[in-house]
Amino acid sequence: MNTLEITSITGLTQPYQVYICNVLGQNCILVSTIGSPVPPSVTITLPPQFENVPAVGVKIVASDGCSRFGVEYCT
């Protein structure tokens, strides 16, 4: 089972909603709501449709509506 570890979130206001998407930022699925500062790190299990893919998009949406998107490569 593939997991994603988030070690830091900066510049956004908590709580955060974390979405896993394809690398184009489409087909996003809400996987976690984080209500406390990061760090400490948070480990998220990827939904089944994202297992064994070479990369995923990670979108984090803050309580004020601001968001960040990045691509994480699976190893």
In the chain, the amino acid numbered 66 is C
Q: Is the pLDDT of residue 75 over 80?
A: no
**36: burial class by Cβ within 10 Å (0-12, 13-18, 19+)?**
exposed
Give dist(CA 52, CA 54) in Å, integer: 7
Q: Which pLDDT does position 51 carry in this prediction?
A: 83
Which CATH number among 3.40.30, 3.30.70, 2.60.40, 1.10.1200 corresponds to the domain 3-73? 2.60.40
Q: Which pLDDT does position 2 carry in this prediction?
A: 85
Does this model's pTM top 0.95? My answer is no
The 10s digit of each residue's pLDDT in 14-62 is: 999 999 999 999 999 999 999 999 999 999 999 999 888 899 999 999 9
In the chain, the amino acid numbered 64 is D
Task: Answer positive or negative: Cα dihedral of 26, 31, 36, 38.
Answer: negative
Q: Which pLDDT does position 25 carry in this prediction?
A: 92
